[in-house]
Amino acid sequence: MRPNIVIFGTPTCGWCTKVKNYIKTQGYTYKYVDVSKDDKALRDMISKTGQQGVPQTWINGVAIVGFDRTKIDTLLAKAKK
């Protein structure tokens, strides 16, 4: 089963680029949402996590704030089962 991955970020965020590249190197696709241009997505992101910092990577609805490779790998491994 392919996980549903959504990455919330901004064009000027270096960590956003790193998380997108990491997800790609792991062989997954994702939906990217630019919260600097999508106010509703920004509000939804803050509502879910209580944080406005990016990147935020949501894997099957579970949010990871920042680039936390261990958490990303754990959630991707769970999605494979």
Stretch (H or E) spanning 80 = helix 69-80
Distances (CA, A) of 47 to 18, 24, 41, 65, 69: 24, 27, 10, 13, 23
User: Which domains occur in the chain, in start order?
Assistant: 5-66 (3.40.30.10)
pTM summary value = 0.94
| 9-51 per-position pLDDT tens digit | 999 999 999 999 999 999 999 999 999 999 999 999 999 999 9
**For residues 28 and 66, is the Cβ–Cβ distance under 8 A?**
no
